């Protein structure tokens, strides 16, 4: 069954909070050993501690996705401690807003360096280990913003998320004959810690814009990632799964 990840090692970048934490929880519940990457050591360790009651082991590996050597060190440590790497969820991302008038090269580069280059660094650093895995899997957290829709005030973010898909499709073709699949999950509006403080009315208005009339949960993204990471999904590569409650379906 695809829910059984006993003995497999899953790396989740940005796994300390939000969607990444949901992904980490779902894999740990399914028996995987989970390596949580984030810059803040304390929150990453806190998350590992929280999910340590699940069947799989969880451990924090502080690193910065914008820094390739730091990611290479983290992947080496993870492979050493867990005996390899089978699944990589490139999920870390940032989404500060800036209108075109407010935009500067620094703001643009900060977002593209984290979201797009960070995804490339994550894949590059994990590849030596994924190649040795029985069924290597890469799952990228993109977004509906960019690949499907635009979002005024977030042009750099939309560009970074659309670029992830060009990278994903090319990597999928490059790695297909090595048994490694590369796919992306495109979340819609997901209830994370960051949104929780926005107030009941704001969240209700967001939910009302979604056909299912509710925001997605972080686990909704985790289960889509879990399916793509399963050995049974080995014939699926270079694809996207939109998880948005029907928000972007044309009428
Ligand atoms: P959060 O802000 O809740 O979490 C972001 C995570 O990424 C944290 O663990 C953070 O840890 C980590 N992170 C940020 N920068 C870096 C870095 N340079 N190196 C390593 N880790 C980093 O974000 P969400 O959970 O909301 O979003 C996660 C992903 O989902 C993103 O890629 C986002 O674009 C995508 N997404 C989110 C949606 C939503 O509704 N929330 C909708 C669509 C897509 P730390 O700061 O300690 O490094």
Query: Per residue in 133-145, pLDDT tens?
Result: 999 999 999 999 9
pTM of the model: 0.98
Q: What is the pLDDT of residues 71-130, one digit of tens each?
A: 999 999 999 999 999 999 999 999 999 999 999 999 999 999 999 999 999 999 999 999
- Residue 231 in contact with residue 2, Cβ under 8 Å? yes
CATH no. for 9-243: 3.40.50.720
How is the chain split into domains, by residue range? 9-243
- Of the candidates 120, 129, 151, 157, the residue annotated as catalytic is 157
Site to probe by mutation for ligand 1, drawn from 13, 18, 65, 247 as the one with most ligand atoms within 8 Å of Cβ, is: 18
Q: How far is the CA of 92 from the centre of ligand 1 (A)?
A: 4
Residues 224, 227, 30, 14, Cα dihedral to 10°: -50
């Amino acid at each position: 069954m695809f829910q059984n990840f006993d003995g497999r090692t899953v790396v989740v970048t940005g796994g300390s909070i939000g969607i990444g934490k949901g992904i980490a929880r779902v894999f740990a519940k399914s028996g995987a050993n989970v390596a949580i990457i984030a810059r803040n050591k304390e929150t990453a360790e806190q998350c590992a501690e929280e999910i340590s009651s699940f069947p799989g082991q969880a451990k924090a590996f502080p690193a910065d996705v914008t820094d390739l050597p730091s990611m290479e060190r983290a992947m080496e440590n993870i492979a050493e401690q867990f005996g390899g790497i089978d699944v990589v969820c490139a999920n870390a991302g940032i989404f500060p807003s800036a209108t075109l008038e407010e935009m500067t090269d620094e703001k643009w580069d900060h977002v593209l360096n984290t979201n797009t280059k960070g995804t490339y660094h994550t894949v590059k650093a994990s590849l030596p280990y994924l190649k040795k895995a029985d069924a290597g899997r890469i799952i990228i957290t993109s977004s509906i913003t960019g690949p499907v829709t635009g979002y005024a005030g977030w042009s750099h973010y939309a560009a970074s998320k659309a670029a992830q898909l060009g990278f994903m499709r090319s990597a999928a073709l490059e790695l297909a004959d090595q048994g490694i699949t590369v796919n992306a999950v495109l979340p819609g509006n997901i209830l994370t810690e960051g949104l929780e403080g926005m107030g009941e009315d704001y969240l209700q208005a967001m939910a009302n814009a979604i056909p299912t009339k509710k925001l997605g949960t972080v686990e909704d993204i985790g289960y889509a990632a879990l399916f793509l990471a399963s050995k049974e999904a080995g014939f699926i590569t270079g694809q996207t799964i939109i998880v948005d409650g029907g928000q972007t379906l044309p009428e």
